[in-house]
Structure 1
């Protein structure tokens, strides 16, 4: 019998035990491992320890987690860029969503002056800006784009999700940012973008909402399950094994 090593999942972010999302993420991964009958080995990687792409070698997936500002924006962007350029399954939630957009603006669109308003409030090119209405401990319905990987993960056209954030995509730059291959795949009731994905990547999804919180109620979050499944496929392909 072939031995399949545990899936190593990089949890990129600065762990804080009081953050609900950080409490939920290990439980969400446990539920996914049980459902998919696989062994997971999640590893928390503080952002200030990530200095080069090789620091992410050997991971089957990368999850950029909530609770920003991070200790090192550069470290978070290094991890996100590595996932984007290598085809490594990527999930970004809340702060991970914001930094995925920032990384794309800088390194794909070539907007080298792009900034996050939380860490650079006076920036002229803030691709991430304060939300018109902060979403702190809020819950809302999101409409999922038909045909998207996100919609396929949920198997439904909409979902009820929780937030704890104050920043999102700058509306003035949204059209240019999301002209493709990064595209909007979820909107709230007011039409505001709440999730994006890369159409030219095997699995690259970032959400402003925190789907992982469902695990705190004992529910397997569909998005986390889809992410772990993508990690399984990636590892199997790398090992030359059937998925």
Structure 2
């Protein structure tokens, strides 16, 4: 991508309990440098532990990325990060545990399912919103089918993609209809199982059960990470349109 005449440095909150043992966390510096060198995108990134979200003005950031690493030290902090982005039109990406807590926040605060739970945090719940996967995806890759006309399709530029996972929990399918009825759109599937969720009408609100931060192809970031970065810059520029190159090329 060629540089714009006027560049804007986007302020991005990386919400998660940073650990050298979480592979996605260790990839972040490489991603930021790749975005700077290959795409000319300047991101000013700040790590925000989940237990410090309540004391952080996340609404002053251009973008929020709820990263993997659950169980989080503060479930409340993780949910607040997703809610802040959703309610304030801030560019948002949730991956793996971030995907799970994105749906949990939406269920509680939009769908009215105030007791919706996550089986990792409340293992004895009878019908958790986020439940153990029938087959764990820790260390696995899998095919994801993309819904035509979705934001995910525009970003990825394909109707199917192979993605990397490191998770053991996903959306309980019995809640799919109620979340959909309240506006959440599910646009990536592996068979009947949900892998991508997006929120129509929001400038950029995308969550994936897979971890796009683990993929760097030929020195370029995954298209979803790149699109998120462009959306952050667009927010910093006051909502100006920023071109997004779809696909992995």
Q: Same fold (TM over 0.5)?
A: yes
Q: CA deviation at 1:18?
A: 2.0
Distance 1:154 1:5 in 2: 24
Pick the structure with more strand per residue: 1
Q: Which TM-score applies when normalising by structure 1?
A: 0.92
Matches within 5 A, 1:1-40: 4=7, 6-40=9-43
Q: Residue 247 of structure 2 aligns with which residue?
A: none
Partner Cα separation in structure 1 for residue 105 and residue 192 of structure 2: 24
Which residue is 2:186 aligned to?
184
Q: Which residue of 1 aligns with 2:245?
A: none
Long gaps (5+) in structure 2: 243-249
**Are the counterparts in 1 of residues 89 and 203 from structure 2 also a CA contact under 8 Å?**
yes
Contact 1:61 1:231 in 2 (8 A): yes
1-side partners of 2:234 and 2:109: how far apart?
A: 27
Segments of structure 1 that go 5 or more residues without pairing to the other structure are: none
| 1:95 corresponding residue in structure 2 | 97
Deviations along 1:13-45, one digit per CA (max 9) or x if unpaired, are 001112111122332232223333132111110
Deviates more, 1:213-222 or 1:67-76: 213-222
Task: Label 1:111 to 1:125 Cα distance change in 2 as closer, same or farther (>3 A).
Answer: farther
Whether contact under 8 Å (1:32, 1:224) holds in the other structure is no
The Cα shift of 1:115 comes to 0.8
The answer to whether the 8 A contact 1:29-1:224 is kept is no
Check whether the contact 1:24–1:216 (CA below 8 A) recurs between aligned residues: no
Matched, 1:118 2:97: no
Hey, what does 2:170 align to over in structure 1?
168
Aligned length: 239
1:80 aligns with 2:82: yes
The separation in 2 between residues aligned to 1:137 and 1:204, in whole angstroms, is 26
* 1:42 partner SS: strand
User: Deviation of residue 125 (structure 1)?
Assistant: 4.5
Q: CA shift at 1:113, angstroms?
A: 0.6
Which shifted more, 132-141 or 118-127?
Answer: 118-127
Distance 2:210 2:107 in 1: 21
List 4+ stretches of structure 1 deviating above 4 A: 2-5
Alignment of 1:144-155 (within 5 A): 144-155=146-157
Deviates more, 1:123-132 or 1:62-71: 123-132
RMSD: 2.0
